[in-house]
A = this chain, B = another copy of it.
Amino acid sequence: MRYRHPDPAQIRIDGVLSALGHPVRLASVRILDGGGVHNCGDIVKILGATSKSTMTHHWRVLREAGVIFQEPSGRENLLRLRRPDLDTRYPGLLDAVLAGAATDDVTD
């Protein structure tokens, strides 16, 4: 099964913000921003205990908002941040969000 992804022109800012506006999804995006393709199981390991069905939901929200590419690979899924698409469509947004998340780390 291949997943459907929105074209860059179909991405909407409210969907992106809503997708990023959850601690687990934001933490996942921060990991993915390290670059390259990540196995979803590896991200779950880094984030700690979260049920598989919950993560399936989170990947779907991120994918449908246009934040990540998700491709099946055997029994796993490979995830990749759509940074070029997001940076082109909403310049500075992802940088500001990720810097903001780092700011919160210091405050917490």
Chain A residues engaging chain B, CB cutoff 8 angstroms: 9, 12-23, 26, 89-93, 95-97, 99-101, 103-104, 107
* Pair B9/A107 contact, Cβ less than 8 Å: yes
- Asked if A13 contacts B97 (CB within 8 A), the reply is yes
Tell me if B9 and A26 are in contact (CB < 8 A). no
A contact patch SS: helix
Question: Are A91 and B97 CB-contacts (below 8 A) given A12-B104, A18-B21?
Answer: no
* Minimum Cβ distance to chain B for residue A77 (Å): 23
Residues of B within 8 A of A21 (CB): 14-21
- In the assembled complex, the Cα of A101 lies from the Cα of B93 at a distance in Å of 11
A88 CB, nearest partner CB in chain B, Å = 10
